[in-house]
Amino acid sequence: MSGIEIGIVAVVMMLALIYFGMHISIALMLVSFLAISTLRNPELATRMVAAAANDSLSSYLYGVVPLFVLMGLLVVISGVGRDTFDVFQWLTRRIRGGLGVATVGANGIFASITGISVASAAVFTKVAVPEMRRHGYTPKFSVGVVAGSSVLGMLIPPSLLMIVYGVLAEQSVGRMFIAGIIPGILLAATFCITILLLAHLRPGFMMQGAAGMGGVAAPAPTAGEAESGLVLALKLVPILALMALVLGGLYSGFFTPTEAGGVGACGALLLALLKRRLSPAKFYQVLGETGHVAVSILFLILAASLYSRMLALTGLPMAIAQWVTAMELTAYHFLFLYLLVVILMGCIIDSVSIMLIVLPIVLPIAQFFGMDLIWFGVITVVAVEIGLITPPFGISVYTVKAALNDRSVPVKEIFKGVVPFFVAMLVVLFILTLFPVLSTHLAYRY
């Protein structure tokens, strides 16, 4: 067998193993080892495993992964998500669909210091869904807006997906973070517009019985029901201070991404201690969860490094690039097919796995077409995030279902609720694809 044939067999075998339940990192390493052994010999394959482990994990940059994970989990423990939602609920109290808009706004702020979509989905399911149900919103909309807006966690910096992409594409992680600002704001704004349109055009989708359009707006809080605006504003001070510390230091160039993660984790720890939400047992639990998440991501990166080396050895990426060239596809034809494949893969595979499988193959083609890899990374993250809310995998949907613990709201209803947000994400993906400057303007300015 030729190298290209071995590469094709390896990719097909890997996808089959993942489909039948093997963990993505194990599948990547096993298939890569077997392919290299077939191409050369087992001794070389063993040496390449060791080299991939050393080269992919010895870098100082990889310290950013556990630090940002730790910061996000500490923020969750501190109860900042509920405080942020309370503020946005008060600000949007007179708007039709105000609680939905409040959920998006609070999710956006929360995402800017966690970077984990699953964390946002779990927190706001507990915080926002009961409030929306209490004010007469339909179950499918209440859970749909939480699942839909949770994807902001992987686009608004800091983002774990941005870190993974930066590593795979050999791009600056700090620059990737900055590139996500405008697209993140655009996506959040599009979600808010979608909610406002639903409130006026499809009130039955949003409100129980669609009784009285005035009911779509959250009722103004009474003195006995809600705190004053000043007290609520003070609730937002800690999270804004943490954002200013981490993102301000990062964007000004005062911190590297890894240093920003360390400072942010320290700030989140102090915040949790000051709010008296962090007991020794909870702190031990947070450290354990941080270890589990960080090690799984770093092991995936190790496996992806070996996978990339195997593909380069087979010559498959270059053969695909030549094949695409022979077909005389334009850059936009290639981009359309690529984004379609990523969105479809999102229906069955998680976000990080998609990037690890696809990027080593398509990055050489994107470079051949002269595409900016920062912009390419942003649209990749958006396309991958669509998979978080699409059936049958839809990890954000299942996170909401698990956190909700309510049998009266089946998974099917949650998927129905995220349909408007799925459409909104497709619109934003289209806009970002047509206007690369939205992704690159800030990235190359700072």
Report CA dihedral (95, 96, 99, 103) to the nearest 10 degrees: -80
Q: What is the pLDDT of residues 112-122, one digit of tens each?
A: 776 667 667 77
Q: What is the pLDDT of residues 339-353, one digit of tens each?
A: 988 888 777 677 777
3-state secondary structure of 355: helix
For the cut 80, the answer to whether the pLDDT of residue 308 exceeds it is no
Positive/negative CA dihedral, 115, 119, 123, 126 = positive
The percent of residues above 70 in pLDDT, for the chain, comes to 89
The pLDDT of 403-429, averaged and rounded, is: 84
The percent of residues above 90 in pLDDT, for the chain, comes to 10
For the cut 70, the answer to whether the pLDDT of residue 211 exceeds it is no
Q: What is the pLDDT of residues 42-52, one digit of tens each?
A: 888 888 888 87
State both tokens at 234. Answer: 């003070």
Confidence class of residue 217 from pLDDT cuts 50, 70 and 90?
very low
Confidence class of residue 223 from pLDDT cuts 50, 70 and 90?
very low
What's the confidence (pLDDT) of residue 406? 67
3-state secondary structure of 221: coil
User: What are the two backbone dihedrals, phi and then psi, of residue 389, each rounded to the nearest 5 degrees?
Assistant: -120, 15
The pLDDT of 413-421, averaged and rounded, is: 87
Which of 415, 420, 355, 314 is closest to 35 using CA atoms? 314
What's the one-letter identity of residue 332?
Y
DSSP label at residue 438: H
State both tokens at 396. Answer: 């954000």
Q: What is the pLDDT of residues 155-201, one digit of tens each?
A: 887 777 888 888 888 888 888 888 888 999 999 999 999 999 988 88
The pLDDT of 370-394, averaged and rounded, is: 86
State both tokens at 363. Answer: 């990055």
What's the confidence (pLDDT) of residue 446? 62
Report the alpha-carbon distance of residue 159 to residue 162 in Å, rounded: 5
What's the confidence (pLDDT) of residue 210? 54
Confidence class of residue 302 from pLDDT cuts 50, 70 and 90?
confident
Regarding pTM above 0.85, the answer is no
Return the minimum-mean-pLDDT range out of 17-21, 148-152, 279-283, 369-373.
17-21
Confidence class of residue 219 from pLDDT cuts 50, 70 and 90?
very low
For the cut 80, the answer to whether the pLDDT of residue 421 exceeds it is yes
What's the confidence (pLDDT) of residue 389? 82
Confidence class of residue 430 from pLDDT cuts 50, 70 and 90?
very high
What's the confidence (pLDDT) of residue 381? 92
State both tokens at 289. Answer: 């969860």
What's the confidence (pLDDT) of residue 227? 55
DSSP label at residue 254: S
